[in-house]
């Protein structure tokens, strides 16, 4: 949000091609930005599992830079919630306990609800078509049991609302929460109960969108939020309580 890598306007020289950057731009990013990006990728992809200790000296050697940029990168990632820093104790890839996961999940859903109610008055036929297409994809993937593809389409489905909401801060915070929780796909699934239920709920939302009914669409979205809450009240523990949940993102 803050450190905008100032998008420069088109340069006058060589303005022929318009799909790729004409002059392969020099990497103007600072070292710590590059480090941060690489570390983020590794964390999100699962190469760095939750709980992995991130030693400054080790990382510095690995990246071939001094400890300064490493510290900077770790600090930013800590602010994003991807790593956890304990003063004088070092950095660790953040582990979410079951409760923390549910907390994030609830907030994420609340943001989605807001996105829906903001987006609907702003959506045109193109966006509605996109929603329909994505919904159909999700149905297909669910029938074939393609969980990962399902979640991908699901994410795209929700992203339509986020983008259409026109609220940039919302988009940032949503993205951040998504990154934090995306590593625990399996548990997200456990919370949802079944793909079928998710699909049914989304179908209802699409209908409301087509009708331009912001209120019921938002209401439908809001009903999601109570799912993890109920799970908390009952004794069905999808993850052992207060136990770190570990990454299960293997095997496609």
Partner DNA sequence: TAATTGCCGACTGTTGACAACTGACAGTCA
Partner DNA sequence: TGACTGTCAGTTGTCAACAGTCGGCAATTA
Of positions 88, 235, 242, 251, contacts a second copy by CB under 8 A: 88
**Residue 89 binds DNA, judged by CB under 7 A:** yes
CA distances from 82 to 20, 96, 113, 141, 222 (A): 32, 10, 24, 29, 27
Of positions 22, 30, 52, 159, contacts a second copy by CB under 8 A: 30
**Cβ atoms of residues 156 and 134 within 8 Å:** yes
Considering the complex, state which of residue 75 and residue 244 has its C-beta at the smaller distance from a second copy. Answer: 75
Considering the complex, state which of residue 85 and residue 214 has its C-beta at the smaller distance from DNA. Answer: 85
**Cβ atoms of residues 80 and 176 within 8 Å:** yes
Q: Which does 31 bind (CB under 5 to 8 A by kind): DNA, a second copy, none?
A: DNA
Considering the complex, state which of residue 88 and residue 230 has its C-beta at the smaller distance from DNA. Answer: 88
**Residue 198 binds a second copy, judged by CB under 8 A:** no
Site for a second copy in 141-180 (CB under 8 A): 167-170, 173
**Residue 78 binds DNA, judged by CB under 7 A:** no
**Residue 36 binds a second copy, judged by CB under 8 A:** no
Q: Which does 69 bind (CB under 5 to 8 A by kind): a second copy, DNA, none?
A: DNA
Stretch that binds DNA, among 56-64, 121-129, 217-225, 235-243 (CB under 7 A): 56-64
Show the tokens assigned to 127. 């966006």
Max CA distance (Å), the chain? 66
| Phi, psi at 118, each rounded to 5° | -75, -35
Task: List the alpha helices (DSSP H) in the chain.
Answer: 31-45, 56-63, 67-80, 98-119, 125-143, 147-165, 168-182, 185-192, 195-210, 214-233
Q: How many residues does the chain have?
A: 252
Helix axes 214-233, 195-210, angle to 10 degrees: 160
DSSP 11: P
Of positions 43, 59, 118, 199, contacts a second copy by CB under 8 A: 118
Residues that bind DNA (CB under 7 A): 28, 30-32, 54-58, 65-69, 71-72, 85, 87-91
């Amino acid at each position: 949000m803050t450190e905008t890598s100032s998008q420069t306007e088109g340069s006058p020289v060589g303005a022929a091609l318009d799909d790729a950057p004409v002059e392969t731009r020099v990497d103007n990013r600072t070292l710590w930005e590059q480090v941060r990006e690489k570390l983020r990728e590794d964390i999100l992809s699962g190469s760095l599992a939750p709980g992995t200790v991130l030693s400054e000296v080790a990382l510095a050697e690995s990246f071939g830079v001094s400890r300064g940029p490493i510290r900077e990168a770790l600090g930013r990632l800590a602010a994003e919630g991807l790593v956890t820093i304990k003063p004088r104790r070092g950095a660790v890839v953040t582990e979410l306990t079951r409760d923390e996961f549910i907390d994030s999940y609830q907030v994420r859903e609340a943001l989605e609800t807001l996105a829906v109610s903001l987006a609907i008055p702003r959506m045109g036929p193109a966006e509605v078509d996109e929603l329909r297409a994505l919904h159909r994809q999700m149905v297909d993937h669910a029938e074939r049991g393609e969980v990962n593809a399902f979640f991908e389409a699901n994410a795209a489905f929700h992203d339509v609302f986020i983008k259409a909401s026109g609220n940039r801060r919302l988009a940032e915070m949503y993205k951040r929460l998504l990154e934090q929780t995306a590593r625990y796909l399996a548990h997200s699934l456990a919370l949802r109960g079944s793909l079928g239920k998710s699909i049914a709920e989304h179908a209802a939302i699409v209908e409301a969108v087509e009708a331009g009914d912001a209120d019921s669409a938002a209401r439908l979205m809001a009903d999601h939020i109570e799912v993890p809450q109920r799970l908390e009240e009952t004794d069905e523990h999808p993850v052992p309580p207060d136990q770190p949940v570990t990454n299960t993102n293997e095997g496609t």
